[in-house]
């Protein structure tokens, strides 16, 4: 007899790791800021992230992940920057810093694009993270998608009216100023929605989506951890 799936089981992808695993991997990849990895291990991490994007149906992010890292690898590192002019050295140093923080940022982007707010809150409750941290994270996950959508709507409205944003001053006037006003309205709406859901009630919350681990969590965590350890060993 086939077992009847619970509501959250029917919606959970077998190829999407739990936010708990994604948070732990993101923190572990942050160590790459102080302990550099071998290039082969770096490309292995990029490849694993792209594979998981593809498994979750996001081909665009999978390609962007590999292309962005390839472009960052094209810039020279700090030892080669000393012989360059000061202006070029400053510019390339900023780009090289982006490469240093790429792995925690890329894993955090994967967390944001493949996780919903309910599962993230359930995962942070499972890890006993205080509400002073979990609530701002939930607000952030609600705010930035709405902010990006409003920006696209403003740019689309400008194109319909024949307005262009190549001039930086015009861009500030037509895009940035409306975004500042809209962002305050979005933040206020999110705060009201949180109050309506009794977010300040100190009692334990009942989550519709519980924090459940799957075999894909072990695959994701072990592959990332193994590549980082291999990168450190080979580099030595």
Q: How many CB atoms are located within 10 Å of the residue 196 CB?
A: 8
User: What pLDDT is recorded for position 98?
Assistant: 81
157 in a structural domain = yes
Q: Name the helix (H) or strand (E) containing 190.
A: helix 177-196
Count the domains in the chain.
2
User: What pLDDT is recorded for position 1?
Assistant: 41
200 in a structural domain = yes
Indicate if 90 and 181 belong to the same structural domain.
Answer: no
Residue 182: phi and psi, rounded to 5, are: -65, -35
Domain that residue 230 falls in? 14-116+211-236
User: What pLDDT is recorded for position 209?
Assistant: 66
122 in a structural domain = no
Indicate if 112 and 146 belong to the same structural domain.
Answer: no
Indicate if 226 and 204 belong to the same structural domain.
Answer: no
87 in a structural domain = yes
User: What pLDDT is recorded for position 4?
Assistant: 40
* Segments in 37-176 forming alpha helices (H): 39-55, 59-73, 78-81, 86-100, 102-114, 117-126, 131-160, 168-171
Indicate if 86 and 163 belong to the same structural domain.
Answer: no
Residue 212: phi and psi, rounded to 5, are: -120, 140
3 in a structural domain = no
User: What pLDDT is recorded for position 155?
Assistant: 80
User: What pLDDT is recorded for position 165?
Assistant: 64
pLDDT tens track for 47-74:
999 999 998 888 888 999 999 988 888 7
Inter-residue contact 96 to 77 (CB < 8 Å): yes
Q: Quick check: pTM over 0.75?
A: no
Full pLDDT tens readout for the chain, 236 residues: 434 434 444 346 778 888 888 888 888 888 877 777 788 888 899 999 999 999 888 888 899 999 998 888 877 666 666 666 666 667 677 777 787 888 888 888 888 888 877 777 777 777 777 776 777 777 777 777 777 788 888 888 878 877 766 676 777 777 777 878 887 777 777 777 767 766 666 666 666 666 677 888 889 999 998 888 888 887 66
Indicate if 26 and 55 belong to the same structural domain.
Answer: yes
């Amino acid at each position: 007899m086939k077992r009847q799936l619970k509501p959250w089981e029917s919606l959970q992808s077998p190829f999407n790791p739990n936010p708990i695993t994604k948070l732990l991997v993101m923190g572990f990849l942050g160590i790459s800021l102080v302990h550099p990895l071998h290039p082969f291990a770096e490309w292995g991490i990029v490849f694993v992230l792209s594979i998981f994007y593809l498994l979750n149906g996001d081909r665009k992010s999978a390609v962007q992940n590999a292309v962005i890292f390839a472009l960052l690898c094209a810039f020279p590192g700090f030892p080669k920057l000393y012989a360059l002019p000061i202006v070029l050295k400053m510019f390339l140093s900023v780009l090289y810093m982006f490469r240093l923080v790429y792995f925690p940022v890329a894993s955090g982007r994967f967390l944001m694009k493949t996780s919903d707010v309910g599962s993230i809150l359930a995962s942070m409750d499972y890890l006993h993270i205080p509400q002073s941290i979990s609530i701002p994270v939930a607000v952030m996950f609600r705010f930035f998608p709405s902010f990006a959508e409003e920006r696209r709507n403003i740019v689309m409205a400008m194109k319909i009216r024949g307005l262009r944003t190549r001039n930086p001053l015009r861009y500030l006037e037509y895009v940035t100023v409306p975004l500042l006003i809209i962002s305050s309205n979005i933040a206020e709406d999110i705060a009201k929605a949180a109050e309506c859901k009794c977010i300040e009630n100190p009692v334990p919350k009942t989550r519709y989506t519980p924090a459940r681990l799957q075999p894909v969590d072990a695959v994701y965590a072990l592959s990332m951890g193994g590549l980082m350890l291999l990168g450190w060993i080979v580099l030595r």
